[in-house]
């Protein structure tokens, strides 16, 4: 089936204040509430971040900063118009590359523009409620709208696009990174070259896939009945899409240039934006792979998952860099994901270094779980383990060291009568039991065992 | 523009602009609008290059630095008491 | 003269509290007859007078330029804590949480606001007869059966009768027209010279705050305290330009020809008294400035008024059971006057799909061309001079019966300068009866200094 999906995704820029006023996000003032007599004041940081996003998405960047008024009536739009960029978006004709099912995909980014967030409408139950609640805390937040050409070919691909986009923008630290900062998208879907339907206001990647799945099924069903898909705008309530507006009722936004904001030449700002941008991922990857002589694949994951700083700090204390990099990518990352923590929200890099220095890899893999989950230092888990060991019997310790293949080999050798391996085994027992038992005790035990 | 076409267009604009008239008022509005549009249409004869920009002078203001400043006020002061609930504003439903 | 008044107040020769009390009483009396106030804020004024008195006694008022001067403010300029309506029922009980920058600036210099003056709803009018639902039409102080002119009619009336200055506003001529009809000096600065932060918007690229007073010197004195860049208004600009004095004036033919015979004669009489060299110049595009202005102004107004829909401020009512379209439509339709509705609708129309090119973009092109044409003319002339209005103040019933497109056309003497953002002043030609006429002087962008020089000289010669 021929499926065409285009996305318009809204991301919140990682500024301290809103787009047109000095409120910190979450607070309100007459400007972001659209009270009479107010005038907008453009946030410099927001423009810089938007320029950076345009660059990240390989767009042509505008020469001037110009805004437009997009007029329509809705309870969440305080001024009755949204200040956005229609005629001269900050970026256009770019592209975004990501991997989908092992294939490299390139999606055209038609435009990137800056606009203000409307307020939030809180529903009790859309079908039965008598009124709504309007929360203005996010009204005026600085958004970047990223619009793709209709080149996505399936709901799953659209989801992957969104996740990859989020990861990339997160890496560059241009967007809000906390839990509530999910991407909101409007999706345009058409099948078999039919009419396209717009689904508005879908939050997050999972919802996006669900909404698209449902809509495609709905459209297929219509076609199977011999009916035509109508051009319209629909909403998504988590389960189904429903009509919001038919084509005839489509809004005429009556765009005019925003007269309260004089155009600004972007030359200087572009320079500042490019200068303060994080190094592109591949450059970073090459840098640490080169300096630390580690595998490119691990280097890439470290950079993409924002573990570069963590890695480099830990590397000051543990110089087996390949082991360190593998451990971070395979084990440490798994623990972070499980505990839903960020690298700067758990144990310090030094602790990981200490862990790797003082235990074998098997133990490290075990101990790191607790260290990350409970934010325990290496000393803490070590002493706890020692306590536990102190309660172990010599049989239990023996069972533990027998997990090691080298020890099992040695025992076989010992049974055959090769006494040379005895010291090795004793050594392992001593280490594993934290010298709880004496050499003689161990020797006696071994004699019994091999019988 | 034809009379009926204009009337229909103006009705649609009323609906989009969230405005309504009584029957008599709407008639008055349409009649007067026709005359005003006649006045406006006089510019049709002018042959000028289309212009999309409207700014009269260069910007003096620098862009605002991204620093928090709290606005000390009560956002609910101008709202009717019954239209404020749980620190939010009560608004009309959407369907 | 304000300077002398301020000196007397500082030296305590005039007691500021007594002065304010006197003006409050006068204001109340005048208002009963002439309806020029929407709000008289007597408690606020008394409190301020007390504060100012303290300041004077402590010696903290020596450098302030407007100490104790009673002021009126057009009701589309926000005053914190004092009801501000823009002349509309939709803001009938609105109490602003902040003051406009211009208000802060005059209060910092010691001014004492005693009231908010009547206006056409949101500025939509030339006679101050398009008042909001339930508001009263102000009457001309020289003949109470006639209009004050608009949209700053209340300010002109109050300035004339109470002999105190006013902060007013002009989008298409709303300072010149009432100044001309009532017989006061009205100064409209270049667009951008005075901050619009805290001005309830009519048309963002055309609105300008200006001053009204009884003489030229006072109008500029007040202007000096409010002018200048404000970071809260990104369109504001502190620029000041000068140009060589050519001692030559230009009469714009297309505007002058639209004036009534008696107006032309009165004006030419005054021009002769002034004695400068003058020439009639033709600007063919000028007559299209009316269309260009109204198209742009209505388009912008239709967006600026979209915030009034019963959420968080302004007229509100029970929302239950109505969907948002029904609720917004009810609030707006019941609380906007007819002219306001008209301008919103036509403004939406001219920027709508299919019509935008022939109306809105064409209007912008005309505006640009007129600016270029006028710029060329200023190479040879210091200023345009012409009557501020083409007619004498009509009777109130007559004004109410005029069809809108005729009213719009009567703005020909003020619209071109307002469209281009040029500074201009209206100086009253002395007259005893209702046949007031303003002598209008228009200078080039940001040339307020030259305008001041010329108007002081002309005012003197017209005495």
Percentage with pLDDT > 70 across chain C = 100
- Please tell me the predicted confidence (pLDDT) of residue C210: 98
Q: Cβ(C119)–Cβ(C86) under 8 Å?
A: yes
Residues in A touching C331 (Cβ below 8 Å): none
Which residues are CB-contacts of A230 (< 8 A; sequence separation ≥ 6)? A195, A197, A246, A247
- Least confident interval from A347-356, C174-183, C217-226: A347-356
pLDDT in tens, A17-38: 999 999 999 999 999 999 999 9
- Please tell me the predicted confidence (pLDDT) of residue A385: 80
Residues in C touching A134 (Cβ below 8 Å): 311
Read off the pLDDT band of A181 (50, 70, 90). low
The residue length of chain B stands at: 95
Average pLDDT over every residue of B15-35? 96
The larger pLDDT score, comparing residue B72 to residue C321, is at B72
Task: Single out the residue of C16, C89, C54 nearest to residue C331, CA to CA.
Answer: C89
Q: At what angle do helices C362-377 and C289-304 cross, to 10 degrees?
A: 130
- Please tell me the predicted confidence (pLDDT) of residue B76: 97
* Cα dihedral C328→C334→C335→C340 (10° resolution): 90
Mutating which of C124, C229, C345 best tests the B interface, going by the most B Cβ atoms within 10 A? C345
Listed by number, the residues of chain C in 177-196 with a beta carbon closer than 8 Å to a beta carbon of chain A are: 196
Residues in B touching C371 (Cβ below 8 Å): 56
* Closest in C198, C300, C353 to A37, CB measured: C198
Whether C289 is catalytic is no
Identify the DSSP state of B90: E
Indicate the helix (H) or strand (E) that contains B41: helix B23-41
Average pLDDT over every residue of A204-222? 94
Q: Cβ(A354)–Cβ(A388) under 8 Å?
A: no
A250 pLDDT more than 80 = no
CA distances from C311 to A135, C79, C333, C373 (A): 11, 21, 15, 45
Question: What mean pLDDT, rounded, does chain A reach?
Answer: 91
pLDDT in tens, C97-114: 999 999 999 999 999 999
Identify the DSSP state of C357: I
Residues in B touching A41 (Cβ below 8 Å): 61, 64
Average pLDDT over every residue of A282-311? 92
Question: Alpha helix locations (H) across C120-257?
Answer: 153-162, 176-182, 216-226, 253-256
pLDDT in tens, A377-407: 888 888 888 787 777 888 888 888 888 888 8
Is C103 within 8 Å of chain A by CB?
no
A5 pLDDT more than 70 = yes
C424 pLDDT more than 80 = yes
Q: Are strands A68-71 and A81-84 parallel, antiparallel or unpaired?
A: antiparallel
Mutating which of B89, B90, B92 best tests the A interface, going by the most A Cβ atoms within 10 A? B89
Say which of C88, C166, C170, C174 is annotated catalytic.
C174
- Please tell me the predicted confidence (pLDDT) of residue A180: 56
Residue A18, min C-alpha distance to chain C (Å)? 15
A177 pLDDT more than 80 = no
Indicate the helix (H) or strand (E) that contains C384: strand C383-387
CA dist C151 and C154 (Å) reads: 8
Whether C151 is catalytic is yes
Q: Cβ(C44)–Cβ(C27) under 8 Å?
A: no
Say which of C23, C74, C266, C452 is annotated catalytic.
C74
CA dist C38 and C113 (Å) reads: 13
Average pLDDT over every residue of A75-100? 96
pLDDT in tens, A298-331: 999 999 888 999 999 999 999 999 999 999 999 9
Residue B70, min C-alpha distance to chain C (Å)? 14
The residue length of chain C stands at: 463
Indicate the helix (H) or strand (E) that contains C186: strand C185-188
CA dist C403 and C408 (Å) reads: 9
Question: What mean pLDDT, rounded, does chain C reach?
Answer: 97
Read off the pLDDT band of C167 (50, 70, 90). very high
Is A435 within 8 Å of chain C by CB?
no
Q: Cβ(A6)–Cβ(A151) under 8 Å?
A: yes
Which residues are CB-contacts of A74 (< 8 A; sequence separation ≥ 6)? A118, B94, C324
Q: How many helices (H) and strands (E) does chain B have?
A: 2, 2
pLDDT in tens, C352-371: 999 999 999 999 999 999 99
Residues in A touching C234 (Cβ below 8 Å): 39-42, 260-262
- Please tell me the predicted confidence (pLDDT) of residue A226: 92
A182 pLDDT more than 80 = no
pLDDT in tens, C383-408: 999 999 999 999 999 999 999 999 99
Query: Is B88's CB within 8 Å of A269's CB?
Result: no
- Please tell me the predicted confidence (pLDDT) of residue A179: 57
* CA-only gyration radius of chain A, Å: 29
Fold of C1-463: Amidase signature (AS) enzymes (3.90.1300)
Residues in A touching C122 (Cβ below 8 Å): none
Query: Is C232's CB within 8 Å of A260's CB?
Result: no
Tokens representing C137 are: 């039409």
Q: Kindly list the domain boundaries of chain B, sorted by start residue.
A: 3-44
* Closest in B69, B73, B94 to A22, CB measured: B69
Cβ-based contacts under 8 A for chains B and C? 167
A249 pLDDT more than 80 = no
Residue A137, min C-alpha distance to chain B (Å)? 9
Read off the pLDDT band of A78 (50, 70, 90). very high
Angle at A213 (CA atoms; ends A211, A215), nearest 5 degrees:
65
The larger pLDDT score, comparing residue C187 to residue A390, is at C187
Question: Alpha helix locations (H) across C11-85?
Answer: 16-34, 42-58
A286 pLDDT more than 90 = yes
Whether C174 is catalytic is yes
Residues in A touching B54 (Cβ below 8 Å): 256-257, 259
Is C97 within 8 Å of chain A by CB?
yes
CA dist C295 and A362 (Å) reads: 78
Long-range CB contacts for residues A441-444, cutoff 8 Å, separation at least 24: A441/A394, A442/A394
Percentage with pLDDT > 70 across chain A = 99
Provide residues of A within 8 Å CB-CB of chain B: 15-17, 21-24, 27-30, 33, 41-47, 73-75, 87, 121-122, 126-127, 129-136, 251-252, 256-257, 259, 262-264, 269
CA distances from C340 to C88, C90, C305, C381 (A): 9, 11, 9, 38
* Closest in A30, A131, A261 to C98, CB measured: A30
Is B89 within 8 Å of chain A by CB?
yes
Read off the pLDDT band of A144 (50, 70, 90). very high
Q: At what angle do helices A422-432 and A439-449 cross, to 10 degrees?
A: 120
Q: Kindly list the domain boundaries of chain C, sorted by start residue.
A: 1-463
B7 pLDDT more than 70 = yes
Task: Single out the residue of C323, C300, C331 nearest to residue C90, CA to CA.
Answer: C331
Other CB atoms within 10 Å distance of the CB of residue A166: 19
- Print the SS3 string covering chain A: CCEEEEEEEEEEECCCECCCCCCECCCCCCCCCCCCCCCCCCEHHHHHHHHHHHHHCCCEECCEECCEEEECCCCCCCCCEEEECCCCCCEEEEEEEEEECCEEEEEEEEEEEEEECCCEEECCCCCCCCEEEEEHHHCCCEEEEEEECCCECCHHHHHHHHHHHHHHHHHCCCECCCCCCCCEEEEEEEECCCCCEEEEEEECHHHHHHHHHHHHHHHHHHHHCCCCCCCEEEEECCCCEEEEEEHHHCCCCCCEECCCCCCEECHHHHHHHHHCCCCCHHHHHHHHHHHHCCCHHHHHHHHHCCCHHHHHHHCCCCCCHHHHHHHHHHHHHHHHHHHCCCHHHCCCHHHHHHHHHHCCHHHHHHHHHHHHHHCCCHHHHHHHHHHHHHCCCHHHHHHHHCCCHHHHHHHHHHHHCCHHHHHHHHHHHHHHCCCCCCHHHHHHHHHHHCC
């Amino acid at each position: 089936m021929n499926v065409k999906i285009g996305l318009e995704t809204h991301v919140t820029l990682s500024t301290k204040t809103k787009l047109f006023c000095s409120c910190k996000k979450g607070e309100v003032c007459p400007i972001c509430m659209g009270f009479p007599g107010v005038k907008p004041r453009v946030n410099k940081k927001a423009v810089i971040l938007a320029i950076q996003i345009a660059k990240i998405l390989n767009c042509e960047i505008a020469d001037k900063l110009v805004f437009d008024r997009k007029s329509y009536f809705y309870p969440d739009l305080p001024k009755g118009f949204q200040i956005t960029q229609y005629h001269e978006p900050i970026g256009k004709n770019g592209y975004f590359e990501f991997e989908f099912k092992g294939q490299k995909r390139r999606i055209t980014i038609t435009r990137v523009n800056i606009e203000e967030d409307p307020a939030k409408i809180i529903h009790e139950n859309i079908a039965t409620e008598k009124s709504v609640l309007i929360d203005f805390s996010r009204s005026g937040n600085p958004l970047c709208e990223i619009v793709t050409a209709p080149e996505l070919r399936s709901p799953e691909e659209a989801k992957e696009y969104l996740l990859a986009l989020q990861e990339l923008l997160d890496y560059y630290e241009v967007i809000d990174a906390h839990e509530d900062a999910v991407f909101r998208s409007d999706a345009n879907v058409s099948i078999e070259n039919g009419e396209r339907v717009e689904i508005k206001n879908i939050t997050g990647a999972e919802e996006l896939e669900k909404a698209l799945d449902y809509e495609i099924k709905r459209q297929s069903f219509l076609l199977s009945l011999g009916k035509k898909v109508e051009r319209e705008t629909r909403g998504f309530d988590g389960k189904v899409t429903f009509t919001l507006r038919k084509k005839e009722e489509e809004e005429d936004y009556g765009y005019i240039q925003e007269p309260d904001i004089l155009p600004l030449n972007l030359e200087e700002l572009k320079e500042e934006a490019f200068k303060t941008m994080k190094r592109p991922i591949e450059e970073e990857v090459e840098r640490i792979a080169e300096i630390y002589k580690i595998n490119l694949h691990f280097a890439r994951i470290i950079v993409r998952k924002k573990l570069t700083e963590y890695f480099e700090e830990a590397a000051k204390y543990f110089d087996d860099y390949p082991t360190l990099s593998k451990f971070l990518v395979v084990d440490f990352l798994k623990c972070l994901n499980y505990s839903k923590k960020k690298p700067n929200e758990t144990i310090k890099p030094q602790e990981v270094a200490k862990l790797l220095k003082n235990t074998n890899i098997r133990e490290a893999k075990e101990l790191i779980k607790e260290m990350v989950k409970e934010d325990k230092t290496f000393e803490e888990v070590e002493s706890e383990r020692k306590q536990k060991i102190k309660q172990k019997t010599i049989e239990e310790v023996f069972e533990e060291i027998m997990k090691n293949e080298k020890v099992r080999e040695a025992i076989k050798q010992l049974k055959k009568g090769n006494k040379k391996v005895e010291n090795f085994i004793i050594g392992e027992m001593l280490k594993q039991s934290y010298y709880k038992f004496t050499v003689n005790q161990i020797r006696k035990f071994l004699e019994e065992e091999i019988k | 523009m034809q009379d009926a076409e204009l009337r229909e267009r103006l009705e649609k604009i009323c609906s989009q602009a969230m405005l309504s008239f009584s029957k008599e008022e709407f008639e008055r509005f349409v009649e007067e609008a026709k005359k005003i549009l006649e006045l406006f249409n006089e510019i049709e004869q002018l042959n000028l290059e289309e212009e999309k920009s409207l700014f009269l002078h260069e910007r003096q203001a620098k862009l605002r630095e991204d620093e928090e400043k709290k606005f000390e006020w009560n956002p609910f002061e101008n709202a009717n008491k019954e239209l404020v609930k749980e620190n939010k504003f009560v608004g009309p439903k959407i369907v | 003269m304000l300077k002398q008044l301020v000196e007397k107040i500082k030296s305590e020769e005039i007691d500021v509290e007594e002065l304010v009390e006197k003006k409050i009483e006068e204001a109340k009396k005048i208002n009963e007859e002439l309806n020029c106030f929407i709000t008289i804020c007597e408690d606020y004024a008394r409190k301020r007078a007390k504060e100012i008195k303290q300041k004077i006694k402590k010696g903290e008022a020596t450098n302030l330029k407007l100490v104790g001067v009673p002021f009126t403010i057009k009701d589309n300029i926000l005053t914190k804590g004092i009801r501000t309506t823009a002349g509309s029922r939709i803001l009938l009980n609105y109490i602003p949480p902040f003051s406009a920058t211009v208000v802060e600036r005059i209060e910092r210099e010691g001014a004492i606001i005693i009231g908010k003056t009547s206006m056409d709803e949101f500025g939509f009018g030339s006679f101050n007869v398009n008042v909001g639902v339930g508001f009263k039409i102000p009457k001309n102080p020289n003949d109470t059966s006639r209009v004050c002119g608009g949209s700053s009619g209340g300010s002109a009336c109050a300035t004339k009768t109470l002999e105190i200055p006013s902060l007013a506003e002009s989008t298409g001529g709303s300072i010149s027209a009432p100044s001309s009809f009532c017989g006061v000096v009205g100064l409209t600065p270049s667009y951008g010279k005075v901050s619009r932060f805290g001005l309830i918007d009519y048309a963002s690229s055309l609105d300008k705050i200006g001053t009204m007073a009884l003489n030229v010197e006072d109008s500029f004195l007040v202007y000096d305290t409010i002018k200048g860049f404000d970071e809260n208004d990104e369109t504001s600009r502190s620029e000041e330009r000068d140009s060589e004095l050519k001692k030559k004036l230009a009469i714009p033919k297309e505007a002058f020809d639209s004036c009534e015979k008696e107006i032309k004669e009165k004006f030419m009489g005054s021009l002769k008294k002034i004695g400068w060299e003058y020439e009639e110049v033709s600007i063919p595009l000028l007559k299209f400035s009316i269309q260009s202005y109204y198209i742009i102004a209505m388009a912008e107004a239709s967006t600026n008024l979209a915030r009034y829909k019963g959420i968080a401020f302004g007229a509100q009512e029970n929302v239950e059971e109505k969907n948002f379209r029904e609720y917004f439509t009810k609030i707006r339709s019941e609380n906007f006057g007819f002219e306001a509705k008209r301008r919103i609708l036509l403004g939406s129309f001219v920027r709508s799909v299919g019509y935008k090119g022939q109306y809105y973009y064409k209007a912008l092109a005309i505006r640009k061309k007129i600016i270029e044409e006028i710029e060329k003319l200023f190479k040879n002339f210091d200023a345009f001079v012409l009557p501020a209005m083409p007619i004498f103040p009509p009777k109130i019933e007559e004004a109410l019966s005029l069809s809108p497109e005729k009213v719009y056309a009567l703005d020909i003497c003020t619209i071109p300068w307002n469209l281009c953002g040029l500074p201009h002043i209206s100086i009253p030609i002395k007259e005893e009866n209702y046949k007031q006429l303003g002598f209008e002087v228009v200078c080039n962008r940001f040339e307020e200094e030259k305008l001041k020089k010329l108007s002081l000289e002309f005012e003197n010669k017209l005495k």
